[in-house]
Every structure is written in structure tokens, then in C-alpha cells.
Amino acid sequence: MNLSIELFGIRFKNPVWVASGTFGYGLEAMEIYDISKLGAVVTKGISLRPREGNEPPRIVETPCGMLNSIGLQNPGVEGFLEKIYPKIKDVDTHFIANIFGETEEEYVEVCKALEEAEKVVAYELNVSCPNVKKGGIAFGHDPVTLGGLVEKVRSSVKKPVLVKLSPNVTDITEFAKVCVDSGADGLVLINTLLGMRINLRRERPDLSTKVGGLSGPAILPIAVRMVWEVYERFGGQVPIIGVGGITTYEDALEHVYAGASAVQIGTANFYDPYAPLKVIEGIERFMKERNFKDFRQLIGRSHRLDIKT
Ligand SMILES: Cc1cc2nc3c(=O)[nH]c(=O)nc-3n(C[C@H](O)[C@H](O)[C@H](O)COP(=O)(O)O)c2cc1C
């Protein structure tokens, strides 16, 4: 049974990755399990300069999920290379750097600074963070600007460039199209959805930023729908990485059957750090029980079956 998969010229030992911002750089998880079992680790967003993020409160629970407005706190690309990279460079799995900037040039500079860091095999451009005014969202919500950014980064760096799309748009396939036309090597969907909670004791919004990004089981059906739509339009042309609401292997397989070639586990890491390992085991069990020999048989499978039967 083959769970490994080659995407954009890179072989991943399995299709289960961890999502940006929910796993740090893997350092904490390393203390409780062997993170080389993961297909890949996507880092917390990395910017050109260090950022402190937003004022607290910046996390609040919601029914079946959470709202966050961390604001892309990170040590900057030099801080990452100096303090974090030496601790992850010998881990036997791939790292994907999640990148964001305020300008095209900043995105390019951050990627370029990581070109020689071998352990980082690809870049995931965050054009969709809802929690900072200039966290890429200006790119993610305007197709023309997005196309320009993807083209610029793609033509400036050697490693594969994935684009993480915002779900806070009317038609995500339009944004996917711009990325595909501009040379993106993969599409990652979705980032968090805009949401708000009001704290009745304080009589004001819970989050300091008022609005934050909704994640967790509540968003699974939205993410699966978006993966389905993008696969229907571009299936086979570009790999889709499904993220949003995955806690169990069944959730992960919904993404895969809808069209995802790999999945990322996000919020679930906060309440069950072992969730990604359980998802890997669950997919293996499922494939064995149903006699699937290769994971690729599952990708987009529901599109090939007659819906009525
Ligand atoms: C606390 C927190 C921080 C996040 N930080 C980032 C980030 O830095 N860059 C990014 O592209 N996405 C970030 N995300 C979005 C996740 O990677 C993921 O797209 C989203 O949470 C949906 O997946 P989930 O429902 O499995 O959590 C963050 C999410 C959370 C909850």
C-alpha cells in the first residue's frame, strides 16, 4: 500500500501535513512525538522583519471551532534562520515555509532568503490572513494584484510556490484561476473565515481586533465545498492541498475525495496534538479495508462516481 505522493517534483512520505500557525515550527511537538512521521510541516507565517502580533485577547472559542487574531507574530526570516532552522534542519521530513509580506518585494525577499535552506522544500504564500491590515489580504482579495504577486515570486525563486487562498470571496475558483495562470505550483485552500463574537459580560467584541479568523470543525463543509469547486475546474492541472476543519481521518478523506492531493491539520493540533498521526493511521486502515493500493486512487474520487448510485 502506497501512501507516499509526489507533488510539484517533491516526494512526500504521506499526504498528511500540519497547517501554518497551529504547529509553530514543530519544536514543541518534537518533545512529545516523532514529527518525522508527518508528510510535511508548514511553518508559522514568516515575514521580512520580526512582528509582535496583535494585542490580546487574540483567541476565543466558538461552537465547533475558534476565532483567532494572532496577527502573524514571528521572529522574521533572519530570526527563523538563526534561531529555529538549526533545530529543524535534521528532522527527517519536509518543511514548507508559510510566507507573507506587505509588498511583492517583501514576499520575494523572504523567499530568496530561504533559497539555500535545504530543509525548506517549498513556499506557501499566505495571501489570505484576515488578521492584519497588510497581511497579504490585499493580494488575496484582488485577482489582478494576486496574479502580479504570484508571477513575481514564481519568476524570482527556484523552489515550488504554493498559494494559500482566502475563503472570504464570492467565487474562489476565480482566484484559483489567476494563480494557475500565473504559474503557481499548487493551491492551498482554505485559510480562516472572518468571524466575530461579542462578550456579553464586557459588552464588546471578544477579540482586540474585533474580527478574527474562524477555524476548526465548523468550517469543514465550507473547505470541502471549495476544494470540490476548484478541483472541478482545474482537476489534474495543479495539485490542491485541502485544509479546514480536519480532526479525523474521515474529515481528511472528505477533502481528498473532493480533490485534495494532500491535507493539512490545523486547529485540531490544539486539542489533540496526536491528531495528525491518528489521521495517517486512519487513512492507512481505510485503504487496507477497501483494498486501495495507492493513495492517488482516492484523489478527487467522488468526481468520478455517479452521484445518484
Ligand atoms: C492560531 C492560528 C494561527 C494561524 N496562523 C496562520 C499563519 O501564520 N499563516 C497562514 O497561512 N494560516 C494561518 N492559520 C490558518 C490555518 O493554517 C488554517 O488554514 C485554518 O486554521 C483552517 O484549518 P483548521 O480548521 O484545520 O484550523 C492560522 C490558524 C490558527 C487557528
> Ligand 1 centre and the CA of 20: distance in Å?
5
> Ligand 1 centre and the CA of 49: distance in Å?
20
By the 8 A CB rule, do 125 and 20 touch?
Answer: no
Is the CB of 244 inside a 6 Å radius of any atom of ligand 1? yes
Please list, residue by residue across 216-247, b when 16 or more beta carbons sit within 10 angstroms of its beta carbon and e when fewer do.
bbbbbebbbebbbbbbeebeeebbbbbbbbbb
- Helical spans, DSSP H, in 130-248: 137-140, 143-156, 172-181, 220-234
Pocket test for ligand 1, best of 215, 247, 263 (most atoms within 8 A of CB): 215
> Which residue has the CA at smallest separation from atom 12 of ligand 1?
20
**For position 215, what pLDDT does the model report?**
98
Is the CB of 136 inside a 6 Å radius of any atom of ligand 1? no
Closest atom of ligand 1 to CA, residue 219:
25
Closest atom of ligand 1 to CA, residue 265:
26
Rounded CA-CA distance 78/85 in Å is 10
Closest atom of ligand 1 to CA, residue 192:
20
**For position 134, what pLDDT does the model report?**
54
Cβ neighbours of residue 255 under 8 Å, at least 6 residues apart? 223, 224, 227, 242, 243, 244, 246, 263
> Which residue has the CA at smallest separation from atom 2 of ligand 1?
21
By the 8 A CB rule, do 94 and 296 touch?
Answer: no
> Which residue has the CA at smallest separation from atom 26 of ligand 1?
266
**For position 213, what pLDDT does the model report?**
96
pTM of the model as a whole: 0.96
Q: What is the mean pLDDT of each run of 10 residues along the chain (309 residues)?
A: 96 98 96 98 96 93 95 94 98 97 94 98 87 63 92 98 96 97 98 96 96 97 98 92 98 98 98 97 98 97 84
Is the CB of 216 inside a 6 Å radius of any atom of ligand 1? yes
> Ligand 1 centre and the CA of 89: distance in Å?
23
**For position 162, what pLDDT does the model report?**
98
Is the CB of 167 inside a 6 Å radius of any atom of ligand 1? no
CATH: 3.10.129.10, 3.40.50.300, 3.30.70.260, 3.20.20.70. Which one for 5-53+71-193+215-304?
3.20.20.70
By the 8 A CB rule, do 224 and 255 touch?
Answer: yes
> Ligand 1 centre and the CA of 213: distance in Å?
8
Question: What residues act catalytically?
Answer: 129
Beta bridge partners of 5: 12
**For position 309, what pLDDT does the model report?**
64
**For position 236, what pLDDT does the model report?**
80
> Ligand 1 centre and the CA of 58: distance in Å?
13
Is the CB of 68 inside a 6 Å radius of any atom of ligand 1? yes
Pocket test for ligand 1, best of 74, 187, 267, 272 (most atoms within 8 A of CB): 267
